[in-house]
Structure 1
């Protein structure tokens, strides 16, 4: 079995907007042309918070001063036996300080929360963004996509969701 990756994903809030990253710069990027939060993979000996703070700084230039750990997202995508598997530690960030930088992974844009759902998002991202907006409860969400990046199943806190 392929080893799963550990990563962070953060949606930074300010003035009823999220800082979104339009992934247009990297080649061979599973997120190519999609809009996501900021974050990335753990480095050796990092805690989730270490990774979060480092990745936010590297991708945005901002220092993250306040954040909440909101959930774990198990992301599975690809052909059976060759899936990409990531355990995403999901955060909401607030109170960033510093000057923004140009991100080498894409374009950073502050997007009104009401407009976020009109962007090119993973279908499962719409599920957890709704959970972030509607509840303060911690959650575990498993999202399974096929090799064509079509959402095949979603399981919230151990219970299958209707995704039709």
Structure 2
């Protein structure tokens, strides 16, 4: 079921985000991530995707929860990680990469209720994930890719991660 990972690199009150060039979420800010390669664990996938998209080599990233999306055609999802870097961590932005534009964005901007520049569901699931509470954030989408339903289900701590 979960075929993807997403990572939010946090430096104090900023997150490194990607403004995507392609669907899904084209022209919107989101975390960094992508699809599993055969045999990868979620952690291996998020490390590889982060390195490929940013050049940053993560030595740690903490599972922050999962996001599941349900449509009339499929159910899929992603593991979401938070990778904390020190305040002294230098990564100059904005920078154009193959996937879009990387830039540090302040949390108050990311979570602002009037911000239409973020991927639709990020402002809803991100505060819980940043707090350390583990949930599966389940979204139902209509045929036009609009969110029509949302529930948050607590995840069991210590439960094994599954890639389906």
TM-score relative to the length of structure 1: 0.80
The yes-or-no answer on 1:70 pairing with 2:64 is: yes
Give how far 1:146 is off.
1.4
TM-score relative to the length of structure 2: 0.80
Aligned-CA RMSD value: 2.2
Q: How many residues align?
A: 147
Give how far 1:30 is off.
1.8
Give how far 1:119 is off.
4.6
**CA deviation map 1:34-89 (0-9, x unaligned):** 21100000000000001000000000111112221010110235xx23x4x43210
Q: Following superposition of structure 1 onto structure 2, how do residues 1-164 of structure 1 map, counting pairs within 5 Å?
A: 4=1, 6-24=3-21, 26=22, 29-77=23-71, 80-81=72-73, 83=74, 85-95=75-85, 102-117=96-111, 118-133=115-130, 135-157=131-153
Contact 1:143 1:151 (C-alpha < 8 Å) held by counterparts:
yes
**CA deviation map 1:79-131 (0-9, x unaligned):** x23x4x43210110122878677421100010001001325223322111121
Unaligned 5+ segments in structure 1 are 159-164
Unaligned 5+ segments in structure 2 are 155-164
2: distance between equivalents of 1:141 and 1:17? Answer: 22
Give how far 1:142 is off.
0.6
1: distance between equivalents of 2:105 and 2:76? Answer: 26
2: distance between equivalents of 1:148 and 1:120? Answer: 19
